[in-house]
Structures are given as C-alpha cells and as structure tokens.
A and B are shown apart, each in its own frame.
Chain A
C-alpha cells in the first residue's frame, strides 16, 4: 500500500540554523500539506500546496517558512532561521482529490 514518507525522522539543530524537512507524497496525489504538533498541543495546519503554488497558509507560516516541490516526487519544508519555539513534530500529508489526507510518520525537530 502506498504511503507518505518523511526524512529525517529526527532532526536536532541550533537556534538560527536553516533546516529542510523532506517528504515524498503518494505518487498520484495532487494536494500536499504540512502540519505541526508542538508537544502536548493540537495538530496545527501550516500550509497547503496545489498545482505548484501555495493554496493556503496559516498565521504560523511566516516569512521564515517556505515550501517547494523541486521535482515530481519530493515536497520540502524549509525553516530559514530556526527558533526554540519551532521545536515540534512536523507532519506531511497528501491527498488525491483534496479531502482525504494521508499523513507521513513525521519529523521530530528539536531546536537547541
């Protein structure tokens, strides 16, 4: 059964450093999403991406964040200058038709 994959599973970085989180969505899916879950809090939407452009973003997704689909398979989330409060589990999701989203296993980002 096809699934969403994410790398790395755990990333430790120092405050102010750039990080890139990688996702490989399910191959015939057209809609892509990033969510995050700070420890003990709700899963929060960050951004959605369709047809090679951002379709919606949350208030969390400020200028420090960017997304890219550099080729036909990868979908990346970049944080330009990490802050302590960016520490969270980041989930990538994909959907074929836009309403049933399938999630990856997540990347735990720890900013020290």
Chain B
C-alpha cells in the first residue's frame, strides 16, 4: 500500500518569489509519482509526472519536481510564481502499472502581490 504526505497545508508566497511544495511518499514497491493542480472551481489537471529515467521532471507552467528515492520525496518547485499559480496542488502516487492514485492532503498555494 502507498501513502502520501504533503507537509504544508498552506503556502503563502509573494509574486515572482520561488516556491517549493513538499511531498513525501511511502511504498513497499516501485512507484509512479504525479503532481496535479486544481484551480478554483475546476477539476484536477496533471502538472507533471515521474515514471522512470531522469529524476528531474519538468511540467507545464514552469513547474518542475525532483524524485529522490533515498528520501522518498517528490518536491515541486517553481523559480518565480505568478498570481495565476494560485491553486491547490496535490501530490499523488501509484504502483507501477494500471493502478489507482493515492493522493496527499493537498497544499493551497496563495500568491500575494
């Protein structure tokens, strides 16, 4: 079984500042890792994914994440945020293969001008 912990429920940052949203996972098997974003009153949009290969993955809207197997982490980063990045961000894990996603609690990113 897998589990995901998102260490921060809310992260306020100023516009154009860098941000890191933290995600740790637990699993007894190899995993796939994902970040989804949910804008207000919308569904979940896939931001980026790690399936295999390079541990640094790049996604949409300038976001990137790094898979660290030894620390069982998959933190999301952006060097300079915009007001439009205000949203809830969910980290998710699945076992390899066609398996269910297990989500973290979510981190609400608030951008202040």
Contacts and interface: CB of A to CB of B under 8 A. Distances in A.
B44 A99 contact: no
Interface in A72-112: 91, 93, 95, 97-106
A50 B98 CA distance: 9
Given A43-B90, A91-B43, A105-B42, A99 B103 contact: no
A45 B90 CA distance: 14
Nearest to A58: B100
Contacts of A4: 43
Given A99-B94, A100-B49, A101-B101, A106 B32 contact: no
B104 A42 contact: yes
Contact of B98 (A99, A104, A106): A99
B99 interface: yes
B45 A103 contact: yes
Contact of B99 (A35, A56, A102, A104): A56
A56 to B, nearest CB: 6
Nearest to A4: B43
Interface in A8-67: 31, 33, 35, 41-45, 48, 50, 55-56, 58
Nearest to B90: A43
B49 A45 contact: no
Top 6 closest A-B pairs, CB basis?
Answer: A98-B98, A105-B43, A103-B44, A45-B100, A43-B103, A103-B43
B63 interface: no
B113 interface: no
A56 B104 contact: no
A55 B92 CA distance: 20
Nearest to A100: B49
A98 B96 CA distance: 9
Given A48-B99, A99-B96, 17 more contacts: A31-B98, A33-B101, A42-B103, A43-B90, A43-B92, A91-B44, A97-B98, A98-B99, A99-B32, A99-B51, A99-B97, A101-B101, A102-B46, A103-B44, A103-B46, A104-B43, A105-B43
